[in-house]
Amino acid sequence: MRTPVPRQTPRPSKAAKRWAALACCVAFPLFAHPLAASSPKFTPPPTLESIPPQPAARDSYEARLVATMAAYVPQTRVTGTIRLWGHGNLKLPWMRHLVMLWQEGFRRFHPGVTFDYQMHGTSSGVPSLFNGTGDVAILGEEILPEAVRAFEHVKRYPPLAVEIVTGSVDVRNFDYAQQFFVHKDNPLARMTLQQLDAVFGAEHRRGPKNIRTWGELGLSGDWADKPIHLHGWAIDDSFGAYLQEYLLGGSHRWNCALHEYVHQSQADGSIYDHGQQILDALENDRYGLAVSNIRYAGAKVKPLAIAATAAGPFYQATKRTLVEHRYPLARTIPAVVDRQPGLPIDAKVKEFLRYLLSRDGQEMVIRDGRYLPLSPDLIAEQLSKLE
C-alpha cells in the first residue's frame, strides 16, 4: 500500500504555495504552452451522459476479484437517516449512480434506513462532519491535510478516513491514475519515485540531489547534456496537491522549469483539458517529461514504468496494478467520518461502511464500473479501523 514520504514541514496554504514557487523563479504561465498542438483535441461539455457507467465484464479481473470477497452480514439491525456529503455538484452528481446502487443494496438489509444525498463537492465533505450536517463524507480524492487540520481545529481530534474504492485507470472525474510520459524518441523506459522527485521538485526529499538533465537519468550521446523540459498540472490544482504529498514528500518547492497547464474553456462549453494540453505539448518536445494520463496519449508519446525504488519491480498503471497497489502512485477514495477517540462509530454509519467493504458493496462498484474495487488486503485493513 502506498505510504507518503514523512513530511518535514507543515503544508502551506494555496496562496503561500504559489508565492513560494514564485520566490525562486518567474513561473511559466498557466495556459497552453507554445508547443501544444495546433489542432487541439477538445473535451465535449461535461455531462453525466458523457461519462456513463461502464459495468465490468463478468470474466474481468475486477469481477473475479470481487467474487472472492466475504458477503455482507449485518452485526446489528439499524434505522435512521444517513447524511451523505462529498464528490459531485448540483449539475454533475458524478457519484450518484454508484451511491444509489449502494443505498438500494444496503436498504435490502436495513429497510429502516433512509439517506439524505448532499454530495455537491469534495471540499464541502469534511466540513459537513465538523459542523454537524453530515454523517459520511465520500470524497473525490484523498483527504487533504488542510481538511484534516480544519477538522482537528474544531473537534480537537482527527477524522477517520476509510478507503472504499480504488481510483480508475483513465476515467475522467473518477480519480484517474497519474502517469509519466516521454517523447516516443526518448530511449528511457522507466523511472523511480526518487528520480521523479529529484526532477519535478527542488528539495529532493527522496534522494541526494536534484536532477535536471537527461544524462543524470542515464542517457548518453546527444541526450546526455540536454535539459529535461517538464510539463504538468498547475501546482495549486488538486492533481498537483496529490503529487506534493505522495511524490515530493510534502515539499511545496517545485522545479522552476515546470510548465503548468490549466483547463481552457471554450465558448461552446467544451474544454481543452489540462491533461490533453500536457501531452499535446510533449508530442512536440523531444526532450520533455510530462505527468498526465493515458486517456490523452497519442502515438508520439509513451508512458514510463514506475517503481518505488531502483530495486523495482517497475509497473505501468493498469487495473490490476492499481487495485493491488503495485503501481506506486495508486489512488484510493475515502469515506470520512467523525469518530471521537475511545467511542464507537455511530451504529448505522458503521454498518453502512461495513457494507461498502463487503462483496455486496464492491459488486456495486464494478456494476457502475468507473471506479475500481479495493483489494481484499486493503479491505481487511479498513475493516479493522471500524472496531
Name the residue ranges covered by the structural domains of the chain. 26-43+178-316, 69-167+332-385
Distance CA(60)–CA(366), nearest Å, equals 10
Residue 257: phi and psi, rounded to 5, are -85, 0
Q: Reply yes or no on whether the pLDDT at 34 is more than 70.
A: no
Which residues partner with 181 through β-bridges?
290, 303
Give the pLDDT mean for 140-155: 95
- Residue 132: is it exposed, middle or buried by C-beta count within 10 angstroms (0-12/13-18/19+)? exposed
- Residue 208: is it exposed, middle or buried by C-beta count within 10 angstroms (0-12/13-18/19+)? exposed
**CATH superfamily name and code, 26-43+178-316:** Periplasmic binding protein-like II (3.40.190.10)
Using DSSP, state whether 84 is helix, strand or coil: strand
Give the pLDDT mean for 46-72: 92
> Does the N-terminal peptide bond of residue 303 adopt cis geometry, omega within 30 degrees of 0?
no
Give the pLDDT mean for 209-230: 98
Fold of 69-167+332-385: D-Maltodextrin-Binding Protein; domain 2 (3.40.190)
pLDDT of residue 364: 98
Q: How confident is the model at residue 92 (pLDDT cuts 50, 70, 90)?
A: confident
pLDDT of residue 90: 79
Which of 231, 345, 341, 242 is closest to 292 using CA atoms?
Answer: 231
Which residues partner with 289 through β-bridges?
182, 230
**Pairing between β-strand 305-307 and β-strand 190-192 as defined by DSSP bridges:** parallel
CA distances from 126 to 3, 53, 67, 132, 193 (A): 22, 26, 32, 10, 30
Distance CA(117)–CA(148), nearest Å, equals 23
Which of 103, 150, 100, 101 is closest to 125 using CA atoms?
Answer: 150
Q: Reply yes or no on whether the pLDDT at 100 is more than 70.
A: yes
Residue 301: phi and psi, rounded to 5, are -130, 160
Mean pLDDT across the chain, nearest whole number?
91
- Range in 93-97, 213-217, 227-231, 281-285 with the lowest mean pLDDT: 93-97
Alpha carbon of residue 32 to chain centroid: 23
| Cell digits of residue 207 | 534522494
Q: Which amino acid is at 189?
A: A
pLDDT of residue 207: 95
Name the percent of the chain lying above pLDDT 70: 90
Q: Are 320 and 63 in contact (CB under 8 A)?
A: no
Q: Are 33 and 259 in contact (CB under 8 A)?
A: yes
Q: Are 178 and 185 in contact (CB under 8 A)?
A: no
Q: Reply yes or no on whether the pLDDT at 27 is more than 60.
A: no
Give the pLDDT mean for 169-196: 97
pLDDT of residue 14: 53
Using DSSP, state whether 261 is helix, strand or coil: strand
Q: Reply yes or no on whether the pLDDT at 48 is more than 80.
A: no
DSSP 295: G
CA distances from 33 to 70, 228, 229, 276, 283 (A): 50, 16, 12, 12, 12
Q: Reply yes or no on whether the pLDDT at 6 is more than 80.
A: no
Neighbouring C-alpha atoms within 13 Å toward the C-beta of 230: 23
Give the pLDDT mean for 230-242: 95
Are 26-43+178-316 and 69-167+332-385 equal in CATH topology?
yes
Distance CA(263)–CA(277), nearest Å, equals 8
Which of 94, 96, 101, 91 is closest to 51 using CA atoms?
Answer: 94
